Amino acid sequence: MPEILRPKGIFAALLCIALLPSCAFVAPLESLWESYKTRFIQNGRVVDTGNQGVTHSEGQGYGMLLAVAAGDRPTFESLWQWTRANLQVRGDHLFMWRHRPHVPLSQEDPNNATDGDLLIAWALLEAAGRWNEPIWEREARAILADLKPKIVRRWHSHTVLLPGAYGFEHQGRLTLNLSYWVFPALRRFAAADSDPVWRELVNGGLALIRQARFGTWKLPSDWVEAAETLQPDPKHPPRFGYDAVRIPLYLVWGGYHNRELLSPFVDFWKAFGGFLPPWLDLELGCVGAYPASGGTRAIYNLSRFAIGKSWWLYLPSPTPKDAYYSTSLILLSHLAARRIP
């Protein structure tokens, strides 16, 4: 059952007062976090229950951010210790993108995933500030120092992020994933680091999102190819799907609430009424026939509210049907909602 976080505007506030006590208010983050820990965290490892129980650097970053937001220092420390011991094993300060239980380290792909690195560094900075631990800030800065030469590139006039340290540059073409632009993290780095590269990455990401408007609905694909022009990457299905759904989440969380950026996402989801498609084929125009997850619905409702197309912000609480990824998106939407004025 969706829950109302808060009304927007004086008329919505008056309506909420008139309807009390029938209004349902959002559960505190701490209670959502306790359930998340029980379901998905095992000895400092965030388990992807929808993907054969693997762990990704992205998931560790999500868990660390949520732990800081919930004020749960013991779990944060457990997550960070596991991450250092099992993912920060490349010989630099970046993190292997995946850990599979019972698979020897020598058989794992040592490449990093840039969004995981950004999330972990951001969580460390937030933890350092909340709990006055300078060592975590130093560890965050070491991650950022290694990221700059390995994943920051120029494409035309834009500063862009490679999704990983290798495998995404091909004879003048770049393979990019716009959902790896974690805008609130990049803005946090820009405030903490005098290097202008973080602000340049923010500007580059916003420019690419404006350009990556494909198909009838003018939406970005999960993966794009940056060559002479920007287009859906031919090595991946041309879908607005499980990766790109995070783009509006990170825009809202980063403070970008303008209609120009968010309306294509909202208009697409709104067009289907109560049914929310899980993905859209940008070439054929067809959508998945089953309903999207609770995480997608949370991002849709968050985006509608952010641009004023809804008086109410309805955010779901996770259900047993929501696996790791959907549940993470729901909780992250709760965090992003607190950034909306």
Choose among 150, 143, 142: nearest CA to 168: 150
Q: Which helix (H) or strand (E) holds 45?
A: strand 45-46
Among residues 115, 146, 233, 243, which one is catalytic?
A: 115
What is the pLDDT averaged over residues 275-280? 96
* C-alpha to C-alpha distance for 317 and 321, rounded to whole angstroms: 11
pTM: 0.93
For residue 196, give every residue at least 6 positions away whose Cβ sits within 8 Å of its Cβ, in sequence order, or none: none
Query: pLDDT tens digits for 110-127?
Result: 999 999 999 999 999 999
Helices (H), 157-311: 183-192, 197-211, 246-253, 259-270, 294-306
- Residue 232 reports pLDDT greater than 60: yes
Mean pLDDT along residues 300-308: 93
Q: What is the secondary structure of 277-302 as a DSSP string? A: -S-EETTT--B-SSPPPHHHHHHHHH
Given a cut of 80, whether residue 26 has pLDDT beyond it is: no
Q: What is the mean pLDDT of the segment spanning 199-228? A: 98
For residue range 278-295, list pLDDT tens digits in order.
999 999 999 999 999 999
CA dist 190 and 181 (Å) reads 14
Q: What percent of the chain has pLDDT over 90?
A: 84
Residues 6+ apart with CB under 8 A from 75: 37, 41, 63, 67
- 42: pLDDT strictly greater than 80: yes
- Mean pLDDT calculated for residue range 62-75: 98
Instruction: Answer whether 305's CB lies under 8 Å from 313's CB.
Output: yes
Confidence of residue 7 (pLDDT cuts 50, 70, 90): low
Is 115 part of the annotated catalytic residue set?
yes
Model confidence band, residue 313 (pLDDT cutoffs 50, 70, 90): confident
The pLDDT value recorded for residue 27 is: 59
As a whole number, the mean pLDDT across the chain is 92
- Under the banding of pLDDT at 50, 70 and 90, the label for residue 14 is very low
Query: In sequence order, what are the beta bridge partners of 152?
Result: 161
